[in-house]
């Protein structure tokens, strides 16, 4: 008699059940990860960023009597995502520091909400130093902390966790001056202003996009006490 091979239907059924269980475990694990990410996002009240982009800055020439200058933050495709304006509100510091306005604003094409801002003022040598004061604007925005180092030749202002303040165009008001030793008051002195900004795309739900942008300005104090913004980048 010919040999008859019988299919082991129970064994195949068991194998199929095991595969289905494995698939179910994978699906449940993925769902658990998604729920965990959602939970963290809700707790932190912001998306969990997985990618970071460094924006490049382009500058305009100083405007009019060289009291105003702007930097534009662009992505890798050259699209402008945000702007940063810097202006001296007065151009004579004979009687002390003058009002300085720093302004950040997102573009509507791909909005960026500002998370933090750091302003670093550094003098060009040992005979001068930045004289920085905080002027509380009407919006009440003040630095998280202020540090003065290198014999007062460097002043750093940090604005962290901007939250509501970072959702649109925002203004930072400061008092700015360049103090100079009397023995070297007959020549120009300068202070560089380095701006470091971090932000994010507010339209992201789970995984979003974070951004880093920086800009550098150079402010020159003349012997006649008239400061101006240099066309050169420090």
In a domain, 1, yes or no: no
Residues 112, 134: one domain? Answer: yes
Residues 198, 92: one domain? Answer: yes
Statement: the pTM of the whole predicted model exceeds 0.85: no
pLDDT score recorded for residue 119: 94
**What is the chain's pLDDT, residue by residue, as a tens digit (234 residues)?**
555 445 555 566 666 676 667 777 787 777 777 677 666 665 655 555 568 888 988 888 766 567 788 888 988 888 888 888 888 877 777 777 888 888 888 876 677 888 899 999 999 888 888 888 887 666 667 888 889 888 788 999 999 988 777 777 888 888 888 888 877 778 888 899 999 999 888 776 666 778 899 999 998 888 888 888 886 654
Domains of the chain: total: 2
pLDDT score recorded for residue 138: 62
Phi, psi of 173 (to 5 degrees): -105, 130
Tell how strand 128-134 and strand 207-221 pair up. unpaired
Residues 30, 96: one domain? Answer: no
Residues 127, 89: one domain? Answer: yes
Domain extent at residue 90: 48-229
Residue with tokens 């300005």: 217
pLDDT score recorded for residue 188: 87
In a domain, 4, yes or no: no
In a domain, 157, yes or no: yes
Q: Write b or e for each residue in 159-194: b if 16 or more Cβ atoms lie within 10 A of its Cβ, otherwise e.
A: beebeebbeeebebbbbbbbbbeeeeeeeebbbbbe
pLDDT score recorded for residue 234: 45
Residues 27, 56: one domain? Answer: no
Task: Report the distance separating Cα 96 and Cα 180, nearest Å.
Answer: 12
């Amino acid at each position: 008699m010919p040999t008859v091979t019988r299919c082991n239907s129970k064994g195949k059924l068991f194998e199929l059940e095991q595969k289905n269980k494995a698939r179910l475990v994978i699906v449940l694990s993925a769902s658990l990860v998604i729920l965990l990410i959602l939970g963290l996002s809700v707790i932190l009240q912001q998306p969990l960023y997985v990618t970071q982009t460094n924006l490049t800055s382009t500058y305009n020439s100083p405007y009019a009597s060289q009291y105003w200058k702007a930097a534009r933050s662009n992505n890798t495709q050259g699209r402008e995502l945000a702007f940063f304006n810097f202006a001296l509100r007065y151009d004579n510091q004979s009687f002390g520091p003058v009002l300085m306005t720093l302004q950040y604003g997102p573009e509507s094409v791909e909005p960026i909400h500002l998370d933090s801002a750091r302003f670093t003022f550094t003098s060009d040598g040992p005979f001068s130093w930045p004289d920085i004061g905080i002027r509380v604007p009407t919006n009440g925005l003040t630095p998280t902390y202020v540090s003065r180092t290198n014999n007062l030749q460097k002043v750093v202002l940090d604005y962290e966790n901007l939250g509501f303040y970072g959702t649109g165009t925002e203004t930072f008001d400061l008092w700015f001056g360049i103090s100079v030793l009397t023995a070297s008051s007959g020549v120009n002195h300068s202070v560089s202003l380095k701006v470091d900004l971090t932000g994010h795309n507010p339209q992201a739900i789970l995984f979003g996009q974070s951004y880093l942008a920086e800009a550098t300005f150079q402010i020159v104090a003349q012997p006649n006490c008239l400061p101006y913004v240099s066309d050169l980048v420090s």
